[in-house]
């Protein structure tokens, strides 16, 4: 349906999330925006005339809002939506029953594996 209206959808998954293997020494971080910045630059290079809008969910929402704040007037998005953003990351961490231990659902993605530690 979106294609019929001229939209394309791009999904950005943070490192080692969504069943992807961690292949670099850089770990996922809910406030690190460099990967999103690289995706936006790639889209802009590939589709220079595209009108960009974004939706972030949960920690992805936090990454999106941080990115937009860092970019300021340079931000490529015409609009964005923040859904379920844990704005107070430290407060959220301290209020979890397990003291912020990584969820068992996420743990397999972060298992120690040999990686190329060349900066990315």
Higher local confidence (pLDDT), 97 or 8: 8
User: Structure tokens of 11?
Assistant: 């999904």
Which distant-in-sequence residues (6+ apart) come within 8 Å of 51 by Cβ?
78
Burial (CB < 10 A; 0-12, 13-18, 19+), residue 37, is middle
Domain boundary assignment for the chain: 3-109
Q: What is the pLDDT of residues 34-93, one digit of tens each?
A: 999 999 999 999 999 999 999 999 889 999 999 999 999 999 999 999 998 887 766 766
Give the containing element (helix H, strand E) for 43: helix 34-46
79: nearest Cα among 28, 4, 14, 7: 7
The counts of H helices and E strands in the chain are 3, 2
Minimum mean pLDDT range among 22-26, 29-33, 110-114: 110-114
């Amino acid at each position: 349906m979106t294609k019929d209206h001229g939209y394309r959808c791009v999904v950005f998954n943070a490192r080692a999330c969504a069943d992807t293997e961690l292949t670099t020494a850089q770990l996922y971080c809910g406030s690190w925006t460099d990967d999103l910045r690289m995706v936006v630059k790639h889209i802009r290079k590939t589709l220079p005339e595209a009108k960009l809008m974004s939706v972030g969910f949960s920690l992805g929402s936090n990454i999106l809002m941080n990115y937009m704040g860092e970019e300021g007037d340079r931000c490529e998005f015409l609009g964005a939506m923040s859904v379920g953003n844990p704005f107070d990351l430290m407060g959220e961490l301290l209020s979890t029953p397990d003291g912020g231990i990584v969820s068992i659902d996420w743990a397999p993605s972060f298992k120690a594996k040999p990686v190329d530690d060349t900066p990315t």
